Structure 1
Amino acid sequence: MASPNSYKLSCSIPGHEMDVRGLAAAFFPDGAFTSVSRDRTGRVWVPNSSPDRGFTEMHCMTGHENFVSCVCIIAPSDTYPRGLIATGGNDHNICVFTLDQPQPLFTLKGHKNTVCALSSGKFGTLLSGSWDTTAKVWLNEKCMMTLQGHTAAVWAVVILPEQGLMLSGSADKTIKLWKAGRCEKTFTGHEDCVRGLAVVSDLEFFSCSNDATIRRWLVTGECVQVYYSHTNYIYSLAVFPNGQDFVSTGEDRTLRIWKQGDCQQTIRLPAQSVWCCCILPNGDIAVGASDGLIRVFTEVEDRMASPQDLQAFEDELSKTTIDPKTGDLGDIKMEDLPGREHLEEPGNRDGQTRLIKEGQNVEAYQWSVADSRWMKIGDVVGGSNQQTSKKVNYEGKEYDFVFTIDINEGGPSMKLPYNVTDDPWLTAHNFLEKNELSPMFLDQVANFIIENTKGHTLGAAAPSAADPFTGRGAYSSAASRQTSTNIYFPKTDGVTFEQANATQIMAKLKELNGGAPGEYRLSEEVLESLEKLLVSVCNPCASEQPTTEQISLLWKTSHWPEDIVFPVLDILRLAVRHPQVNDSLCGGDTDDGVALCNHLLSLMKPQGRPANQMLALRTLCNCFSGWRGRALLLAQREAVLSHAADLCSVCNKNIHIALATLVLNYAGSLHGQPDLEAKAQCLSVASAALESVQDKEAVFRLLVALGTTVASDQTAQDLAKSLGVMSQIAKYTSVTDPAKVGECCQLVLKELQ
């Protein structure tokens, strides 16, 4: 039985598909609250009627074109008696919703980067904060003023009860007090980014920071108290109605409950980032985390979860793995750990952590004052890269995987060998041909390979003297192992996709042409012309150069139906590397270049075919090999990177590598240029991609893109810091397979220090 005033799990609420980034208690219906997520939706949750526990989704809001970062409730008015819901997102927009329809009532545009903080005040006033370093004041669907003065992203905003006073907290480590659009005071004291603000009264407020502290301030400028307990970044705060007690959440995986100035209870969650929290009207606490779940905690016994659900929550927590390098374990020493007998001694405070040896493993336990016992909170691992390079022998060769494939029900099983360095689409094509199977199974087999190998980086690391992108010898082995010698960035020459098997590409094109609809079927003459083009662009020593007619045929054929166009896209991908093709399709008549760009972007729709998405991205990357292609893509940068960012959440290793390469090529083209807005988009897309990608090669290319963007550019470095890049990539410093990931990560962090 719980001790008095201790919080326990009430319920877990599934529904969101990605991180829950914002929560806010609603005015209507009673007991409801709103959540927003990286899955681009906002949702309204209402409590189930007694005796049922939990919440039911009442309303889903869509309208953002990218991740949703924050939410606030606009108080009821005569026009909107149930209030409004405002959400901010990575698409730079603020959407305002009613409870009557899923689409926005209206959209506020004006910020130039992610809107990451919102606060509402009297008379429908809305205050927003953005990565563009500004805060904006909105009223009656218009931006009334822009608050300028911070030098980095504005992570937190709040409107104080006293009319006209507003606060903004920034990655520049300061908090500013604004009145009538003017900065009245700047508060200093935090040693890292300010991530959250919360109102105590007309005269006081709280702030939290990446420096793992919470501060209580008077609006006159004095810091009256500093609170220590968290061991990592603190992301959010919420204050109880009494104005004294509060809760906080952070990157140390915890919700902490503060009463009378002390941390009275620590609740650890089975998720790395506990992004947000809010206090519900009945005093319960809702928290949102990186695992996509919302969890509600209560100190009222009748609302606590069943014993079975509480045990399930504890079991889930005990199975998590904790990397000691993340700082989640505070100042615990790893050496000379005791055995299980250490758990027979009670802890001295709630949330205290102990590590013990259990056989060859290390387990972490946390003291629960409420239950007077040690609770297992996870297994401690030595590092984030636990994979090995075991190979499977098949037909005399070694492979990373050998899958058993059952295509026909009741028919014989077939073996499909695969190495993670292979192209899944080409592997699938070869498998179908070898086993005389219909090409209609191509997508099915390729997607099977992708799904069953995602996240794996098996096999030996590239030789130390190899080019980190191509594997070709280009660097001295002595330099490549020294992180003090930067062989990785800035990288200003474009990275392209060169690998090709012209015979297989043409075989697939002819095969698909045989079944193409009549109006799309190509004559033997056209096929021969395309084959000649392919040979000429794949062979640098070819005597024949691409002709205008061949280029025109390639462009026309690239508009084949989406289910059969991928071999043509492969030819296009190779062809744009050739100077004549690059000049013709990317330049010449400016409209031709824009048409090429728009066509490739149309193939990159998130709901499109993975093969087309990947080849369109690779084609864009290869366009950088010519000056006309580079000029075209720089001119179309905003649209291209926006469409590319939409593919971050697609679970496909090859798409992620192509996406990372595209960002890298943009970073290289922008290096040494003063275009901060363009660099901000590169950093933003790279940051978003790092949230999703698992493949180490994609991670490496994103790290090089970051390094190239910030190298020798203080403004870009400050912007990267304000986006939280340092904390985002720190986990890669210990990666040793491949070594280039850890080395490059260390160099990027060194550049940002």
Structure 2
Amino acid sequence: MFKLSATLSGHHDDIKGVANLSDDSIVTVSRDKTGGVWERQGTVNFSLEKMLISHNGYVNSVSVLEIHNNSYIVTGGSDKIIYVWDSMDCSEPIYSLIGHEENVCVLAALKNGGIVSGSWDKTAKVWIDYQCVYTLKGHSSAIWAVSQLEDGTILTGSADRTICQWNGEKLIKTYKGHEDCVRALVPLSENKFASASNDGSIRIWDTQGNCLSNLYGHDSFIYALGVLPSNELVSSSEDRTIKIWKNNENIQTIILPATSIWCLSILKNGDIVCGTSNNNAYIFTRDQARLADIDTLNSFNEANAKFSESKKIKDKLDTERLPGPERLLQPGTKDQQIIMVRQGVEVEAHQWDANSSSWLKVGVVTDAVGQERKQLFEGKEYDYVFSVDLEDGLPNKKLPYNSSENPYNAAQNFINRNEISQTYLDQIASFIIQNTGGAQLGQGNKDLDPFTGQNKYIPGTEASSNYENPINKKNESSTLTHQGFSFPKNYVLMVSANTSAIINKFSEFNNQVGEEFKGLELANGETQCIKDLSTFLAKKDNEITDHINPKLDILVNTLKSWPEKYRFPLLDLLRLLVARNMSEETLINHIQQGESLYNFISDITKLPDALKPNMKNDQQLQVRITMGVRMLANMISHKPGRNQVVLSSKKLLEVFMEMANGSMNKSMALAVSTFLLNFAIMVYRAKNLLDESPIYPTDFGVNQCCDTLLSISKKLIENEIELCEKSNFKSSNELNSDALIRLVSIFGVLLLTDKERTRIFIKNEGMVDILNKLPKIDPSSQLSNACGLALSLAI
């Protein structure tokens, strides 16, 4: 029987795809917009060594290419782009494959070194030498599954319930039989293959078109299939399980602490890797030498025991006839047997473990009402699909919604699709919010703070904020909104981070510093102080107190003494620390120490040079600058930090004005836009006495600050538009929407601060045309609503 071997924890959202470079190297991709490469450490443990960061949306598919003894990782996602990565250096993609018009939900490697991709746009594309050689058109709904048979022909499975077989771009056969969306395909032999569907069945076909057998056993959608070296079939489902099939019989059921088992991959050694909706990947093995240690196994069993699911999932369960806890005193009839027992008002699921001759609790069936199953609308997957009764006598209309969406955007799409009066917008959005809990700005943008091995540390996109400062509990809501959007009046913090990754990189650099510069490395006690700061930061409610001060001393002194190229993990820790509510004395003693903040963040002074064409490849410098700007953005959120920023405001704004003439990567652009927005909010809050002891940037002049902020923001917006237009809207240089929302918000905040001055700028400097143009280039609701609100205030 398969048993747990390892748990891979590190992603911040569902793992939608898994693949393997080898038995010791696994690739995962996630809804947190990232991919990860996990390397085996010892017999069973894996560590996240590299991250794949370029996608601007969910990463939903992954495959591995083997070409001339080199391995390449291929990823696709909701941003419609396919990226190809060199597995030896994952700092950035080596190819971008552009062509799909919607989510790329499945990828497969071809025997000739090519790639086949499937998309919600109802097409599959075949790519040879990273060029699209033909597009497979014929399905009437989204393509969820692709595979290649032994004879080189390609299979595609679709939400239209059919499977198509292609020779080149010619459709040669259509297989019909499934009653719902086809989600997975896998070859079994030279003339056989298996398919799986949302109808809960697995079908075995021959290539003549005959369905040889139907396998039933799953209770819900089946998402993935794989074949073991022993020729046994493996399937994963929305019912919490992986099932092993032999001779068309289910010989083992593995229960996991997650509703959706999205994906699986089979290692050459016979182990199974799967990705789940609880953000973890799991490895299962039959090899006793690779079984999980007792702590990992106990954690897994405990998570299973605590897992709750609704009675709606077990709709055929007759609770009145279930046995009581006395049933657990009797042994199981076979290994992995599952039974339900009544424990008071609850129903518990237990699984028999033959090795220990005991029942393991694997879940609780509750009366909870919720969204347990993913649902489909027009072949696409949504968290919710509501039936809306618009008019008596007419069929109900379907309202699809994903929890990462803005409710107003979903409502507007529903209005457009069904030609409903615009007056219903607020009513429909309110319905969504009431029935789902709603969605906040940036809820769907959960990003990791990335790191890689191989002496690289690549800045990733910062998670979008809800525009709410958790330190400053005052939350004055705006009285002016546009379709639910209002300009922020609280400071925006950049605090998304993977502190364990930062500490790993710090430890690596400490060793390198010791080798290159004897005496600059930290001793064990000092490195422990840096690690203690990381532990402190992991507890979100901690405030900086006296016991932290000595550790801060070590951090700041190290930051000043170490060579610049080794500083960025320390800068990363510092930008997280300054987001906490520091006292004036703490900031002055540990950060300023007699010199200006501007000089302390020495890399900021190099920002204009870093953006020159010949400096674009100096990634380390750009990383340090990005960290420094994030730190500045966080410092404005409390009074001592604002004091320090104000003292250097003239030089800082002058540098950012120069910087506006260069081009930045998306991480830096987001950091800069956040700092400028917080600067504008500082001026607004000072004018309206919303901050204790309000501070104005008097050395530069308030009016000049406003003019400078407006000029910089306009130039940065123009830069983003220019990049997008040059790429014809079809490359990774598409609009950086998160940064643009913040840049447009600067105009909104300054309209609320000095309306006449800002209105004159908007009208005289061509901003009316720009604010009208942005929603046409990028119709995302938040950006469109920000532009609409700014125009309504300005005109």
TM-score (norm 1): 0.54
How is 1:703-718 mapped onto 2 (pairs within 5 angstroms)?
none
State the match for 2:10 in structure 1.
Answer: 15
Cα distance in 2 for partners of 1:24, 1:302 equals 22
SS in 1 for 2:738: coil
Establish whether residue 604 from structure 1 lines up as the match of residue 738 from structure 2: yes
Q: 1:604 to 1:68 in 2, by over 3 A?
A: closer
| 3-state SS of 1:65 partner | coil
Matching residue within 90, 94, 116 for 2:78:
90
Structure 2 equivalent of residue 339 of structure 1: 324
Shift of 1:186: 1.1
Counterparts of 2:121 and 2:776 in 1: how far apart (Å)? 15
Closer/same/farther in 2, CA of residues 185 and 382 from structure 1, 3 Å limit: same
Write out per-residue CA displacement over residues 173-205 of structure 1, whole angstroms, 9 at most, x where no aligned residue. 111011120111111111111111111122111
Give how far 1:635 is off.
Answer: 5.9
2:46 corresponds to 1:55 = yes
- Match in the other structure for 2:473: 428
Residue 120 in 1 paired to residue 109 in 2?
yes
- Report deviation, 1:562: 2.1
> What RMSD, in angstroms, separates the aligned Cα atoms of the two structures?
4.8
Alignment of 1:181-580 (within 5 A): 181-243=169-231, 245-325=232-312, 327=313, 329=314, 331-348=316-333, 352-368=337-353, 371-384=356-369, 428-429=473-474, 561-566=676-681
Determine what percentage of the aligned residue pairs are the same residue: 34
Does the 8 Å CA contact 1:255/1:266 hold for their aligned counterparts? yes
Residue aligning to 1:150: 139
The answer as to whether partners of 1:428 and 1:446 remain within 8 angstroms in 2 is no
2:130 to 131, 141, 147: 141
Q: Are 2:351 and 2:360, in contact at CA under 8 Å, matched by a contact in 1? A: yes
Letter in 2 for 1:239: V
CA distance in 2, matches of 1:446, 1:592: 27
Matching residue's letter, 2:34: T
CA shift digits 1:50-102 (9 cap, x unpaired): xx42223444322222221111121232xxx2232211111111111112321
8 A contact 2:23–2:267 mirrored in 1: no
Residue type at the aligned position of 2:154? M
Counterpart residue type for residue 56 of structure 2: E
Q: Determine the C-alpha separation between the residues in 2 that align with 1:197 and 1:445.
A: 42
For residues 209-244 of structure 1, the C-alpha deviation after alignment (integer angstroms, 9 at most, x for no partner) is 11111111111111111111111111101011343x
Counterpart Cα distance in 1 of 2:185 and 2:37 = 23
| Amino acid of the structure 1 residue aligned with 2:678 | D
Cα distance, 1:266–1:520 mapped onto 2, change above 3 Å:
same
Determine helix, strand or coil for the equivalent of 2:67: coil
Matches within 5 A, 1:24-103: 24-26=19-21, 31-49=24-42, 52-77=43-68, 81-102=69-90, 103=92
Equivalent residues of 2:775, 2:783 under 8 A apart: no
Encode CA deviations 1:338-386: one digit per residue, 9 max, x unaligned: 3211323444566554333323433222344565543211222211479
Moved more, 67-76 or 349-358: 349-358
Aligned 8 A contact 1:136 1:145 in 2: yes
- The answer on 1:178 being equivalent to 2:166 is yes
Partner letter of residue 30 of structure 2?
Answer: S
- The SS at the match of 1:565 is helix
Aligned length in residues: 473
Over 3 Å counting, the alpha-carbon distance change for 1:318 and 1:520 in structure 2 is: same
Structure 1 pair 592–519 and aligned structure 2 pair: CA distance change class (3 A): closer
In structure 2, distance between residues paired with 1:592 and 1:45 = 41
Post-superposition offset of 1:612: 7.1
- Structure 2: state its 5+ residue gaps: 372-465, 477-488, 497-536, 542-638, 653-672, 687-713, 723-734, 753-766, 790-795
* In 2: Cα distance, 1:349 partner to 1:612 partner: 66
**TM-score relative to the length of structure 2:** 0.52
Q: Where does residue 724 of structure 1 map in the other structure?
A: none
Q: Is 1:593–1:632's contact at 8 Å kept on the other side of the alignment?
A: no
Quick one: distance in 2 between partners of 1:67 and 1:603? 15
Give the SS at the match of 2:189. coil
CA deviations on 1:593-624 (whole Å, 9 max, x unpaired) are 9869979x8783399799979989x9xxxxxx
User: 2:768 & 2:159 partners in 1: Cα distance?
Assistant: 33
Query: 3-state DSSP class of the match of 2:96?
Result: strand
In 2, the alpha carbon distance for the partners of 1:324 and 1:253 equals 14
| Partner-residue secondary structure (3-state), 2:678 | coil
1:691-730 matches, within 5 Å, as none
Cα distance in structure 1, aligned partners of 2:133 and 2:289? 47
Give the SS at the match of 2:317.
coil
Helix, strand or coil for the counterpart of 1:605? helix
Q: Distance in 1 between matches of 2:108 and 2:649?
A: 59
Aligned-partner Cα distance in 1 for 2:272–2:787: 40
SS of residue matched to 2:112: helix
Give the aligned residue type for 2:89.
Answer: Q
1:427 CA drift (Å): 7.7
Whole-angstrom CA distance in 1 between matches of 2:350 and 2:490: 49
Q: Secondary structure at the match of 1:562?
A: helix
Supply the distance in 2 between the matched residues of 1:129 and 1:99 (Cα, whole angstroms). 23
Q: Distance in 2 between matches of 1:341 and 1:613?
A: 68
Indicate conservation of the 8 Å contact 2:261/2:274, yes or no.
yes
Q: Contact between 1:425 and 1:446, CA under 8 Å: does it hold in 2?
A: no
Contact 1:19 1:38 in 2 (8 A): yes
Deviations 1:10-52 (A, max 9, x none): 11122323221111232xx554332222223333333334xx4
What is the correspondence of 1:626-637 to structure 2 with a 5 Å cutoff? Answer: 636-637=774-775
Q: 1:424 to 1:302 in 2, by over 3 A?
A: closer
Q: Distance in 2 between matches of 1:117 and 1:218?
A: 23
Partner Cα separation in structure 2 for residue 202 and residue 229 of structure 1: 26
Would you say the 8 A contact 1:95–1:107 is kept in 2?
yes
The one-letter code of the counterpart of 2:362 is I
Whether the aligned pair in 1 keeps the contact of 2:775 and 2:784 (CA below 8 Å) is no
Instruction: Give me the whole-angstrom Cα distance separating, in 1, the residues matched to 2:342 and 2:784.
Output: 41
